[in-house]
Structures are given as structure tokens and as C-alpha cells.
Amino acid sequence: MNELHLYEVLRRPLITEKATLLKQGDKYAFEVARRASKCQIKEAVERAFKVRVNKVNVITVPGKTRRVGRREVTGSCWKKAIVSLAPGDKITFFEGV
């Protein structure tokens, strides 16, 4: 299994319209490292925010294709994780956003 440090797993929180709606159901979205597994994501969120994680869903988002002159260039892929917390747990980092 690949060893990633806790701070390498979570890249940034995703603050989008869809992610904001997910907060009402105790779900939070993060951009994570491409090599990170579900177990590593769960451990990183639990240790970083001191909450209990029930479930982790992972999505690999393909890069966007755009035109640069006559060529089509594809951006790099990235990985998104949607983390479901135990009832009663909240991540205060997202409050007020």
C-alpha cells in the first residue's frame, strides 16, 4: 500500500454549490491525492477535524478538453472524495461559507 502523509491526502475543501447543498446531509467534499485510498481519506479526515466518518465515496474527475490554437489540450485528472459523517458531527471549517 502506498504511504501518504496525513497532510498529503487532503488537498483542499471543495466549496461549490453542490457541495454546499451536501453539507445539510452531513456530507463534505474534498479534493484528495490521486494515490489516496478510501481508508487513508477516512483516517485523514478523522485526525484532521476530530470527527467520526461513516462512509467515503471517491470519484475520479476527468480533465477538461479545451482548444489552444488548432490543438485540443486535455487538463489533468483529479480525485474528489465525498465524506459522510456520523450523526451529530460537524466540520466547523465549512461554517459560514
Average pLDDT over residues 7-32: 93
Q: What is the pLDDT of residues 69-97, one digit of tens each?
A: 999 999 999 999 999 999 999 988 766 66
The residue among 93 and 33 whose pLDDT is bigger is 33
- In words, the CATH class of domain 6-87 is alpha beta
pTM: 0.88
Backbone angles phi, psi at 54, to 5 degrees: -85, -45
Answer yes or no: is pLDDT of 48 > 60.
yes
Per-position b or e across 4-16, b if 16+ CB within 10 A of its CB = beeeebbbeebee
Counting other chains too, the contacts that 86-95 makes at CB distance below 8 Å and 24 or more residues apart are: 86/26, 86/51, 86/52, 86/53, 86/54, 87/26, 89/26, 89/51, 89/52, 90/26, 90/51, 91/28, 91/49, 91/51, 93/13, 93/49, 94/13, 94/15, 94/23, 94/28
How is residue 56 written as a grid cell? 467515503
Q: Where are the domains of the chain?
A: 6-87
